[in-house]
Amino acid sequence: MSSFSGHLSLRAEARDDGQTFLARQSFKAPFHLSKPYWDGHALIVQVVNPTAGILEGDRLESKISVGSGAAVLATSPSATRIFQMKTGEAESRQRFVIETGGWLEFMPEPLVPHRGSRFRQRTEIDLAAGGEIFFADLLMPGRVARSETWAWDKLCLELTLRVGGDLILRERLHQSGAELKALASLAGAGEGACFANLVIVSPRLKDSPVWREAIVALHCEGVWAGLSALRGECGGWSLKLIASDNVALRRTLKHVRQTLLGLLPRLACDPRKL
C-alpha cells in the first residue's frame, strides 16, 4: 500500500495596512491549500486533504508560524478520516509558533478514526508572551451511520504548550475506544458522543469572570463542559467538551466562540465559510 510523507509550512505576516498575508508557503501531498483570503478579521486558510484520508504509513508534518500583528484562522472543509490499517500506524506532527501580538485560531473539522485504525498526533504550541491562540482538537467516535464507533486499535493525541519559553501544559489522550465510550456514558452521551479539547491563551482573558461563568453554564444535559485555568499569568485556559453528537458539539463550539467574541474580536470570522 502506498503512503504519504507530506508537509505543510506556512508563515503569516502583517502588512502596513494591518491585513495578513502568507509570506511563505510550502506543501506536499496530502496537504493542499485553497486560496487564502482576508475577511476583515483574519486570514482564512483552508487546509485540504485531496486524498480519501489518512492511510497506513502516512507521516505528516505541518508548521504554521504567525508574526507580530498577523491573524490567521486555519481550518479544513471536511473531516479527517483515519482508515483501517493492517500493520503499522500513521503519524501527524504539527507545530504552531505565534509571536507577540500574533493571533492563531486553529479549528479543523473532526478526526474520525475508522475501525482498526492506529494513529498518533503530536501537537506543539510555542507562544511568545503577548501572543494569542484559540486551538480546537475535535474527535468523533467513528462512522456512526455504519455502527462502527469506538473501534479503533490505537489513538494517541499529545499536546505541549509553551508560553514565553515556559512549559505551561503537557497532556496526552491515549485511550481505547472502550475507555472513551465509558467516559461518554458517564457524561450521559450515547453511541455518537463527540469530544473537543480546546486551549485558549490570551492576556485579555485574565481578569473578567463574566465569560467564565457563561462557559461553565454550557454544562447541561447532553453536554459536559470542564474549564480549567492553566499555570502562570499568561491568561491560558483548557476547555474540555463532551457532546451527545456532532450537532450538539458544533452548537456548543459556536456558543463558546460567541461568548469570547467581546474579548477576542478575531473570533468574528466564520471558520466554515469557503
> What range does the domain containing 54 cover?
5-268
Q: Tell me, what's the pLDDT at 153?
A: 92
Sequence-distant (≥ 6) Cβ neighbours of residue 271 within 8 angstroms: 44, 73, 75, 105, 107
Does residue 86 lie in a domain region? Answer: yes
The mean pLDDT value for 69-81 works out to 94
User: How confident is the model over 220-272, as pLDDT tens digits?
Assistant: 878 999 999 999 888 999 999 999 899 999 999 999 999 999 999 999 998 76
Number of domains in the chain: 1
Does residue 273 lie in a domain region? Answer: no
**pTM for this entry:** 0.94
User: How confident is the model over 215-225, as pLDDT tens digits?
Assistant: 999 998 789 99
Does residue 9 lie in a domain region? Answer: yes
Instruction: Give the closest residue to 68 by CA, choosing from 43, 97, 99, 96.
Output: 99
User: How confident is the model over 144-165, as pLDDT tens digits?
Assistant: 877 788 999 999 999 999 999 9
Does residue 154 lie in a domain region? Answer: yes
Q: Tell me, what's the pLDDT at 207?
A: 74
CA distance linking residue 65 with residue 24, whole number of Å: 10
Burial label, 40 (beta-carbon count in 10 A; 0-12, 13-18, 19+) = exposed
The mean pLDDT value for 47-51 works out to 79
Does residue 48 lie in a domain region? Answer: yes
**On the CB side of 172, how many CA atoms lie within 13 Å of its CA?**
10
Does residue 274 lie in a domain region? Answer: no
Instruction: Give the closest residue to 83 by CA, choosing from 44, 119, 109, 49.
Output: 119
Q: Tell me, what's the pLDDT at 274?
A: 44
Q: Tell me, what's the pLDDT at 188?
A: 64
